[in-house]
Amino acid sequence: MELFARNGYHSTSISQIAKEAGVSKGLLYNYFDSKEALLHDIIMEAVEMANEVMGNILSSDADAAEQLRMMTEVTFGIIQKDLHYWKLMTSLAFQTDALTGLMPELRKMQEETIMVIAGIFRRLGAGEPEKEAFYYGAVLDGIMLHYMQMEEAYPIEEMKAFVIKRFLPEEQ
């Protein structure tokens, strides 16, 4: 994952991965059928991790505003903690050739997430909850995009505060 994220999927060779992992190429192929299968597993691990976090938030007994705040905080937190990981995830979203067979799965997940967030906004009393959900998702993804590109040069903490203030003005 580190290598894929740092150098790109195509520029990372199985040899490099094996060397970095301290195992032989042969052994890698005992655990993963192909380079693409390895990528698939990496992605799925991320997806499941995200799903779990999301589920925890939704199943909590916090109110809608609190859930949105938590979701925002957690999103920022995850990205800041595993920047490389998410850089890879995002970059892959644009390398459609590397993801054949995986896209439908991801597409469905994305739609579900939108629905969940739309639900939160509905409970918050938004006029157009679904559009609001799209908008909220765009804000977060846009910020992540910029952060991934600029890294330390990006005012990530300030932006987090800014986002929370915009979507949850009544807090505090």
Partner DNA sequence: CATGAATGAGGCTTCATTCAT
Partner DNA sequence: AATGAATGAAGCCTCATTCAT
Binding residues (CB under 8 A) for its own copies: these are: 6-11, 87, 90-91, 93-98, 107, 110, 128, 131, 134-135, 137-143, 145-146, 148-150, 155, 158-159, 162-163, 166
Question: Least Å distance between CB 104 and DNA?
Answer: 21
- 20 makes contact with DNA (CB under 7 A): no
- 96 makes contact with DNA (CB under 7 A): no
Decide if 142 contacts 77 (C-beta within 8 A).
no
Q: Tell me whether residue 60 or residue 96 sits nearer to its own copies (CB atom).
A: 96
Q: Tell me whether residue 23 or residue 138 sits nearer to its own copies (CB atom).
A: 138
Phi, psi of 104 (to 5 degrees): -55, -45
Q: Tell me whether residue 37 or residue 138 sits nearer to its own copies (CB atom).
A: 138
Token digits for 157? 């903490």
Please report the DSSP string for 5-32 in residue order. Answer: HHH-TTT--HHHHHHHHTS-HHHHHHH-
- Find all residues with CB under 8 Å of 142, minimum gap 6, and list them: none
Residue 155 binding: pick among DNA, its own copies, none (C-beta 5-8 Å cut-off by kind): its own copies
- 27 makes contact with DNA (CB under 7 A): yes
Nearest residue to 86 via CA among 35, 43, 31, 34: 43
Token digits for 54? 């999301």
